[in-house]
């Protein structure tokens, strides 16, 4: 029997300031290995089936990484009540991911084995991050970090029975899962293809499309090679051509990881750690001794071009050229996440989006093929909006109005687009959406602005930022 430390050998208290989890999970350099975690997650048959059905990778490859890192920070660094709320949000989110795969097997985002695998791939990414960075964790510190990570998993709802109890048992589990359970299916292919043709992230939206496209062919290929270089050799072989690592890639990866590790020792906390992590770390230290506006309506723009742009950038979340329920489910998911909705409000949000999908199928799907293409949506948009669509926009606007006073103020708006965005930009948005000039944006005005944008009659910087970002 192994004498490796079990979770009970370490403190049962949730990891906080000073823990290894706090030290490593929130660092920006986790980006050097988080790609490995996401690929290995997707290689799990249950997760891969969900990716094939509900993925938005083709259009928004950055979003999965961004949401993963944000959720990790919420689960680890926030106070207990906020951690529990995030865990409940994840359970609700994954509860909407279900279906039947190509082999006729039912899958669910709440599958306990898949949940455990996804959670433990992050532990693997942290250990590899340190190893590649030149500051490897010895067995004792790995065991300590692993015990902490089990507690984080239990907090997020992963059954303890699905996670190996010791570090040694975990290592056997990891190797067996990679060797016997993971696949190189369509979900992984879709993810790796997305890494090879990356759209510009929101922070680089100022770069001209032609310039980014030219750089992307080199950048995307390089990122895919670097991610492949982090994967277990046995799994790289299973990927075939997609898993091949060009000569010199591993040297570049090593240099990048070591540079990130050195920078982490020299730079201030706010640069080394992701925003939420840095905020809580700084707050704990202090206890021990702060966008774009909603675009003004451009009535001079070509309506057809504006509608086509809205269809591609906002509505077609999966990037397959048509609208289907996974597209609208993705929109519901993003709004629910950014507004941090309670369970009952999230269910109402999903129901409102599903009602619009039923309306779209009934009124726009002219050829009855179960999806709505761009031409079918254009015909619909040129007519009067349906009741379900109008009700949906009011539902979204009402959710933004958190205090229920019937108006969208700067605090409400900050929840949607991020409180760190300049207040002057939020004031500019208020002037743009305040159509009657009374100095107040009502829920009705906000809903109308959303509706006009979704119908392609106005350009919304807000929707581009929240829904159109990669």
Q: What pLDDT, on the 0 to 100 scale, is given for residue 464?
A: 73
Query: What is the average pLDDT across 91-95?
Result: 90
Give the residue, 163 or 468, on which the prediction is more confident. Answer: 163
Helix (H, G, I), strand (E, B) or coil at 125: helix
Helix (H, G, I), strand (E, B) or coil at 373: strand
> What domains, with CATH codes, occur in the chain?
7-286 (no CATH), 303-466 (1.10.238.10)
Give the chain's mean pLDDT.
Answer: 83
Residue 463: which of 418, 421, 416 has the closest Cα?
Answer: 416
> Would you report the helix, strand and coil content of the chain in percent, each value rounded to 5?
65, 5, 30
Query: What is the average pLDDT across 95-100?
Result: 91
Q: What pLDDT, on the 0 to 100 scale, is given for residue 437?
A: 63
* Weakest mean pLDDT among 161-175, 316-330, 411-425: 411-425
Query: What is the average pLDDT across 147-155?
Result: 95
Query: What is the average pLDDT across 183-196?
Result: 81
The Cα 259–Cα 279 span in angstroms is: 24
pLDDT at 165 over 70: yes
Q: What pLDDT, on the 0 to 100 scale, is given for residue 10?
A: 40
Question: Could you tell me where the DSSP H helices lie in 302-442?
Answer: 303-310, 325-338, 343-363, 374-382, 387-400, 410-417, 423-433
Predicted TM-score (pTM) of the model is 0.71
The Cα 40–Cα 347 span in angstroms is: 30
pLDDT at 421 over 60: no
pLDDT at 462 over 60: yes
Q: What pLDDT, on the 0 to 100 scale, is given for residue 159?
A: 94
Is the distance from CB of 414 to CB of 386 less than 8 angstroms?
no
| Antiparallel, parallel or unpaired: β 372-373 and 322-323 | antiparallel
The Cα 293–Cα 430 span in angstroms is: 8
């Amino acid at each position: 029997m192994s004498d490796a430390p079990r979770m009970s050998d370490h403190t049962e208290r949730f990891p906080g300031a000073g823990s290894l989890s706090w030290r490593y999970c929130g660092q920006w350099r986790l980006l050097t290995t988080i790609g490995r975690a996401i690929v290995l997650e997707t290689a799990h048959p249950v997760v891969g089936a969900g990716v094939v059905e509900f993925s938005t990778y083709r259009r928004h490859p950055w979003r999965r990484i961004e949401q993963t890192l944000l959720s990790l920070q919420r689960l680890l660094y926030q106070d207990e009540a906020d951690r529990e709320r995030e865990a409940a949000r994840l359970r609700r989110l994954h509860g909407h991911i279900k279906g039947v795969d190509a082999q006729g097997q039912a899958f669910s985002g709440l599958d306990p084995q898949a949940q455990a695998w996804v959670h433990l791939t992050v532990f693997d990414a942290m250990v590899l991050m340190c190893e590649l960075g030149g500051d490897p964790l010895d067995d004792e510190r790995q065991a300590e970090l692993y015990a902490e990570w089990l507690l984080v998993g239990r907090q997020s709802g992963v059954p303890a029975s699905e996670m190996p109890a010791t570090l040694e048992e975990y290592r056997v589990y990891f190797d067996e899962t990679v060797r016997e359970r993971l696949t190189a299916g369509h979900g992984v292919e879709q993810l790796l293809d997305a890494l090879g043709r990356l759209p510009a992230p929101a922070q680089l939206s100022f770069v001209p499309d032609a310039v980014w496209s030219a750089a992307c062919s080199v950048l995307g290929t390089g990122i895919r090679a670097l991610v492949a270089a982090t994967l277990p050799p046995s799994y790289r072989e299973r990927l075939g051509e997609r898993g091949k690592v060009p000569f010199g890639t591993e040297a570049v990866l090593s240099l990048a990881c070591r540079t990130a590790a050195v920078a982490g020792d020299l730079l201030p906390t706010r640069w080394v750690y992701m925003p939420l992590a840095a905020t809580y770390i700084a707050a704990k230290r202090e206890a021990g001794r702060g966008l774009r506006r909603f675009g003004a309506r451009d009535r001079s723009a070509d309506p057809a071009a504006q509608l086509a742009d809205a269809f591609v950038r906002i509505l077609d979340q999966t990037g397959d050229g048509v609208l289907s329920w996974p597209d609208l489910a993705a929109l519901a998911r993003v709004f629910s996440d950014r507004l941090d909705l309670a369970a009952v409000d999230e269910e109402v949000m999903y129901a409102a989006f599903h009602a619009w999908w039923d309306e779209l199928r009934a009124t726009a799907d002219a050829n009855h093929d179960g999806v709505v293409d761009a031409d079918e949506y254009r015909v619909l948009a040129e007519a009067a909006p349906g009741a379900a669509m109008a009700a949906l926009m009011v539902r979204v606007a009402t959710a933004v109005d958190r205090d229920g006073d019937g108006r969208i103020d700067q605090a409400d708006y900050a929840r949607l687009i991020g409180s760190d965005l300049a207040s002057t930009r939020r004031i500019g948005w208020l002037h743009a959406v305040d159509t009657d000039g009374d100095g107040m944006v009502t829920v009705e005005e906000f809903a109308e602005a959303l509706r006009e944008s979704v119908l392609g009659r106005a350009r919304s910087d807000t929707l581009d930022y929240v829904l159109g970002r990669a």
